[in-house]
Amino acid sequence: MLAGATPQLAAHVVGGHRQSSARSHRARSTAQSSASARSPGSSAGSSSDNATATACPHGAAAPQPQPAVQAPVRKEAVSVEVAEEKKSPDDPYIETPRCTTCNECTQINDRMFAYNENKQAYVANPDAGSYAQLVEAAESCQVSIIHPGKPRNPAEPGLAELQARAEAFA
């Protein structure tokens, strides 16, 4: 033992490597418990297990190591194209994954446009507003991801002009 060192801090040389006495104690205790768990006539185990199964020099029982618990791995590779429903070109939609959360569309009509759990916009209710609001939102979108589709109300005023403006976002 080193001069002035406590038995807990003293180091042992084991197999050419320095290990603290607590680590050496744990290694020997683990080897002992695994050796005693085998049946007496069993040939399972290697000679290195038997070589390390020695009595603890301090006479104290080491805590048994807990088995490693591995969290289940979730394999949910979802592509954006698969996750989104197939949309009709006549229906209004937003390329939600590309949304920058600028609030332009929700300021125009917060019942028509809403944010998902990732703070990205989607068309919540296309009937909650006018075609003019859809076109205005498409024009004000900073990343041009709003597609107004076709008008739902054929009697909406100024429809011909709105459809011409919407062509750029088809």
User: What is the helix, strand, coil percentage profile of the chain, to 5?
Assistant: 35, 10, 55
49-84: pLDDT as tens digits: 444 444 555 565 666 666 666 666 555 444 444 344
The pTM assigned to this predicted structure is: 0.50
Identify the pLDDT of residue 48.
44
3-state secondary structure of 151: coil
Distance in angstroms (rounded) separating the CA atoms of residues 23 and 29:
10
> Does residue 128 carry a pLDDT above 50?
yes
For the chain, what are the domain ranges?
Answer: 11-52, 80-169
- The CATH code of the domain at 80-169 is 3.30.70.20
At 114, give phi and psi (nearest 5°).
Answer: -145, 170
